[in-house]
Amino acid sequence: MELKPRGFSLGTMAVFRSGLLVLTTPLASLAPRLAPILTSAARLVNRTLYVHLQPGMSLEGPAQPQSSPVQATSEVLDFITHLYAGADLHRHLDIRMLLTNIQAKSAFLPPLPTSVQNLAHPPEVVLTDFQTLDGSQYNPVKQQLERYATSCYSCCPHLSSVLLYPDYGTGEQPVEPLDAPLPSTIRPASPVARSPKQPVRGYHRGAVGGTFDRLHNAHKVLLSVACVLAQEQLVVGVADKDLLKSKLLPELLQPYTERVEHLSEFLVDIKPSLAFDIIPLLDPYGPAGSDPSLEFLVVSEETYRGGMAVNRFRLENSLEELALYQIQLLKDENHKENEEDKVSSSTFRQRILGNLLRPPNKRPELPSGLYVLGLTGISGSGKSSVAQRLKGLGAFVIDSDHLGHRAYAPGGPAYQPVVEAFGTDILHKDGIINRKILGSRVFGNKKQLKILTDIMWPVIAKLAREELDLAVAKGKNVCVIDAAMLLEAGWQNMVHEWAELGSSLTNACLCSGCTTHCREGWPQ
């Protein structure tokens, strides 16, 4: 199916970094048309696509069209879900539905802004699904479109405009809708019969919570519905600290400050008239359990029980229950067998396993042409198994335990210093150091242990450097140092990157079949 603006060749058209898509098709007809519209828009915009909903607007009349309020109904909220479900098929795009003109039913209705709304990524092109009778890029219509866009939002100078004319499947290949009709976006705690045109109630203040790691389209549905419901303030709890411990691959979670930064930009972009209070969520209840001014809480299918627990907690503390709005999960149509079938941050973290997230340290003091990886972790963590696996792939392996045995064997570089420090009574009759007796002297005695490590660690490091030279002489390109005490001994300067085995990150990486490590120096 060919999806392109008529009168243009996509091969010769510019690709824009950011765009504004103005949707004018009536809502009842828009959902099944959305997939080809997004596909067509995604060929012209490669980073950020803003979506502005103005059903029924004409760009061919004598008067310049103005932005007008769109009543928030069940149909509108269901469209939000359709939009972000469709957006997940275009993962190169950050799609954001603008909500300034979407108004819920409320005694308090903030007026539409009289000034232009600033956007984080000013559009370079404005697109529309509006069609002229002759199917052309008719200049007066495009001029109306450009004036409309610039009257609503901050756009780049020399704004371009395109009438999309997607192929809606009237030929031999009918267009399938995004999926079977999605169930209703929101489900109030007290089920009521709803028609698509039923207005959605607005509230003064409400709350929503989550981890919001790598902000994705399911997050955007949750946040967008919360923004439609809230008329004055939205409290956003962002999980942190203890609430992150049970997450899959917590080592790969974005830092709290980074998650808040992305979250804040998205929220201010889609509804700048709201006051946002973004706070760390440190317990399961958060402000939703204690703030008497809150009126609603938006939850997902997975967190609905948590919302019920919040309401029980509020009742126990003589507070009114919150109106709960449950948002359906978005299906991930491209998930693999070992991944969840929903759009989730956990899946995104799994997918970056094996990717180098930052360049490894430069080690000019190490042999040229040799890449050195350190493996550390407690006994039984799997260091040796991983080392042998990498050896099978051609790596040269240095076992620090074996170097230690060489170091304090009779005639070894650490033998005499150890005997002088701990006495001849640590020796077997044949002169070999009795490791059991030596261990009983140092373990549990920090002072004695430091004496031993001050002797052994520099010697082992020197032997390891000799082994690195041997690896080069054998023509090896990759070397693995297996060392339980790599960090304690300060041997990070002997490797380009290191991995601590035994963490959930490394275990997941190994289970996924990764042979490259994900992050220099993790976990930190």
Look up residue 242 and give its DSSP letter: G
The pLDDT, as a whole number, for residue 450 is 95
The pLDDT, as a whole number, for residue 510 is 42
In whole angstroms, what is the distance from residue 40 CA to residue 165 CA?
Answer: 8
Statement to judge: residues 106 and 231 lie in one domain = no
Q: How many CB atoms lie within 10 A of CB 7?
A: 12
Percent of the chain with pLDDT over 90: 67
Nearest to 374 by CA among 357, 352, 350, 395: 395
pLDDT at 172 over 50: no
CA angle 351, 242, 511 (to 5 degrees): 30
The CATH number covering residue 138 comes to: 3.40.50
Q: Is residue 73 in some structural domain?
A: yes
Q: What value does the mean pLDDT take over residues 17-44?
A: 95
Q: Is residue 438 in some structural domain?
A: no
Statement to judge: residues 500 and 357 lie in one domain = yes
Statement to judge: residues 507 and 360 lie in one domain = yes
Q: Which residue has the higher pLDDT, 520 or 265?
A: 265
Q: Is residue 423 in some structural domain?
A: no
The pLDDT, as a whole number, for residue 517 is 36
Statement to judge: residues 268 and 382 lie in one domain = no
Total domains in the chain come to 3
Q: How far is CA 228 from CA 105, 161, 188, 222, 307, in A?
A: 10, 29, 14, 10, 19
Query: What is the residue range of 151's domain?
Result: 16-163
* Inter-helix orientation angle 74-87/27-42, to 10°: 20
Statement to judge: residues 250 and 369 lie in one domain = no
DSSP for 122-169? --SEEEE----TT-S--HHHHHHHHHHHHHHB---SS-EEEE-----S
Statement to judge: residues 357 and 326 lie in one domain = no
Q: Is residue 4 in some structural domain?
A: no
The pLDDT, as a whole number, for residue 523 is 26
Residue type for position 415: Y
β-strand partners of 468? none
The dihedrals phi and psi of 7, each to the nearest 5 degrees, come to: 85, 0
E runs forming strands in 354-465:
371-376, 396-399
Nearest to 452 by CA among 483, 420, 411, 424: 420
pLDDT at 145 over 60: yes
Residue 7: which pLDDT band, with cuts at 50, 70 and 90? very low
Q: Is residue 365 in some structural domain?
A: yes
Statement to judge: residues 250 and 375 lie in one domain = no
Domain stops at, among 301, 323, 348? 348
Q: With beta carbons less than 8 A apart as the criterion, state whether 254 and 213 touch.
A: yes
The pLDDT, as a whole number, for residue 503 is 55
What is the value of pTM for the model shown? 0.75
User: Mean pLDDT, the chain, as a whole number?
Assistant: 87
The CATH number covering residue 401 comes to: 3.40.50.300
**How many residues appear in the chain?**
524
> pLDDT tens digits, residue range 370-427?
999 999 988 888 888 999 999 999 999 999 999 999 999 999 999 999 999 999 999 9
The dihedrals phi and psi of 161, each to the nearest 5 degrees, come to: -145, 145
| Joined tokens for residue 358 | 């930052």
Statement to judge: residues 30 and 136 lie in one domain = yes
The CATH number covering residue 316 comes to: 3.40.50.620
Statement to judge: residues 133 and 211 lie in one domain = no
pLDDT at 11 over 80: no
Most confident of 85-94, 99-108, 188-197: 85-94
Helix (H, G, I), strand (E, B) or coil at 103: strand
Q: With beta carbons less than 8 A apart as the criterion, state whether 69 and 104 touch.
A: no
Q: Which residue has the higher pLDDT, 192 or 108?
A: 108
Question: H or E stretch including 206?
Answer: strand 203-210
pLDDT at 32 over 90: no
Percent of the chain with pLDDT over 70: 86
Most confident of 114-123, 137-146, 184-193, 515-524: 114-123
In whole angstroms, what is the distance from residue 162 CA to residue 139 CA?
Answer: 10
pLDDT at 140 over 50: yes
Nearest to 179 by CA among 329, 351, 1: 329
* Inter-helix orientation angle 415-422/435-442, to 10°: 60
